[in-house]
Copies of this chain bind each other. A is one copy, B any other.
Amino acid sequence: MNTENVTKEESLDPEDWQLMRNLGHRMVDDMLTYLETVRDRHVWQPVPNEVKAFFRQPLPMEAQGAEHTYRDFLQYVLPHPMGNIHPRFWGWVIGTGTPLGMLADMLAAGMNPNVGGADHVANYVESQVLHWCKQMLAYPDEASGLLVSGGSMANLVGLTVARNTKAEFDLRQDGIYASDRKMTLYGSTETHSSVQKAVELLGLGGSAFRQVPVDKDFQIDLPELESTIARDRRGGCQPFCAVGNAGTVNTGAIDDLEALARICQRENMWFHVDGAFGALAGLSLELRPLVAGMEKADSLAFDLHKWMYMPYEVGCALVRHEEAHRKAFALTPDYLTHADRGLAGGKIWFSDYGVQLSRGFRALKVWMSIKEHGVQKYAKLIEQNVDQARYLAMLVEDAADLQLLAPVPLNIVCFRFIADRYDNDTLNEVNKELLIRLHESGIAAPSYTSINGNYALRVAITNHRSRRDDFELLVEEVVRLGNTLLDDARFCRRSPG
Contacts and interface: CB of A to CB of B under 8 A. Distances in A.
A328 B136 CA distance: 36
Contacts of A2: 468-469, 472
A237 to B, nearest CB: 10
Contact of A83 (B13, B343, B450): B343
A29 B81 CA distance: 28
A341 B45 CA distance: 11
Nearest first, the 10 closest Cβ-Cβ pairs linking A and B are: A203-B203, A175-B205, A312-B360, A24-B28, A106-B106, A342-B439, A80-B121, A97-B112, A342-B436, A105-B109
B27 A103 contact: yes
Interface in A141-155: 149-153
A120 B80 contact: yes
A109 B201 contact: no
Nearest to A315: B358
A59 B283 CA distance: 12
Nearest to A87: B11
Contacts of A432: 339
A349 interface: no
A20 to B, nearest CB: 5
Contacts of A80: 120-121
Interface in A417-446: 432, 435-440, 445
Most buried by B among A21, A76, A194, A342: A342
Given A172-B206, A356-B150, A103 B24 contact: yes
A100 B80 CA distance: 21
Interface string A48-82: 00011001111111111110111011001111111
Contact of A97 (B77, B109, B374): B109
Contact of A361 (B312, B436, B467): B312
A80 B125 CA distance: 11
Nearest to A174: B205
A96 to B, nearest CB: 7
Nearest to A337: B448
Given A331-B196, A342-B435, A202 B205 contact: no
Contact of A176 (B173, B177, B380, B436): B177
Interface residues of A, number: 189
A197 interface: yes
Interface string A77-115: 111111111000001101111111111111111111110
Contacts of A357: 150-152, 193-194
A44 B120 contact: yes
A103 B100 contact: no
Contact of A24 (B32, B81, B311, B436): B32
A343 B44 contact: yes
Interface string A184-221: 00000000011011001111111110000000000000
A312 B372 contact: no
Nearest to A120: B82
Given A77-B125, A175-B176, 14 more contacts: A11-B381, A13-B36, A23-B103, A27-B103, A51-B121, A55-B124, A63-B373, A66-B99, A91-B343, A175-B182, A176-B176, A194-B357, A203-B203, A343-B439
Contacts of A230: none
Contacts of A177: 176, 179, 182, 205
A76 B121 CA distance: 8
A9 interface: yes
A13 B113 contact: no
A488 interface: no
Nearest to A365: B109
A213 to B, nearest CB: 16
A60 B375 contact: yes
A259 interface: no
A250 interface: yes
Nearest to A439: B342
Interface string A1-20: 01001100111111001001
